[in-house]
Amino acid sequence: MTTNAMPPDARPAIVLLHSSMSSRKQWSDLSAQLEASFRCIAVDLLGYGKSPFPDVADGAAFTLAHEVDAVNAAIAAKLAPGESFHLVGHSYGGVTALRLARQMRERVLSLAVFEPVAFHLLAANDAARVEIETVVAAIGAAATPRDATRVFIDYWNRAGAFDSLPGAQQDKFTAQIEKVKLDFQALLGEPATLADMAGLDMPALVMSGLNSPASTRRLAERLAAALPNASAVQTKGGHMGPITHGQVVNALIASFLVGAEVVSV
């Protein structure tokens, strides 16, 4: 009997990680734009999309290591053993990408991040870290999950943003606030420092929004300076730029990936 086996897919792989309160669908337009040249592997982070809520033992802290383990499990079936890949992340997905890149440096061809919320990289007295820790404290002190969600949404967007949303959207976001709390626990508890970023010497692109909170703009500047082979770019919009200004952000990522692919050959 003769069978016609499909040839292996020669397109380089890209792993795409979304922000908190989002899902892998965030990257649908970028994936469609890149599919002719790349295999796009968009992952639902724990507690979002179709991924289960983290299963952490009572009393144990949720960490980025837990998140990365789940990402590795999700991509293992879609990559050949030891296969290299490009890595893209936004916000919490960006800080997860940094942890993944450090754990698998030999496999990561390039790194593109939009405002990774890696506030653990900053000193305790840094204004950017103090600002975000104040937000985290307000989320924790909120009287109800809905109030906590309002604090979160309004910080990353604008005052009144949560209340302007349709009720169904408010309910959807509120249902995810407990995972957001774990996201903050993980990113603020991560032990890596800016000095550790020197090991990430792959081509890197660090993006930020012109209208983003000062905390993430400052962090993006510090991170871009710490990465040995990074470029820094600011785009229109704010922290949610990959969603609100996807056409601009996607074009930057696509252009970067073409150059990074040449470098990695």
DSSP secondary structure string for all residues of 194-245: GGGGGG--S-EEEEEETTS-HHHHHHHHHHHHHSTTEEEEEESS-TTHHHHT
User: For 151-161, what is the mean pLDDT?
Assistant: 95
Domain ranges within the chain, ordered by starting residue: 13-122+192-264
Residue 16 bridge partners (DSSP): 42, 88
Report whether pLDDT(263) > 90: no
Task: Name the CATH code of domain 13-122+192-264 (choices 3.40.50.1110, 3.40.50.1820, 3.40.190.10, 3.40.50.2300).
Answer: 3.40.50.1820
Model pLDDT for residues 215-252, shown as the tens digit of each residue: 999 999 999 999 999 999 999 999 999 999 999 999 99
Please compute Rg for the chain using Cα positions. Answer: 18
Model pLDDT for residues 92-141, shown as the tens digit of each residue: 999 999 999 999 999 999 999 999 999 999 999 999 999 999 999 999 99
- Tell me the pTM: 0.93
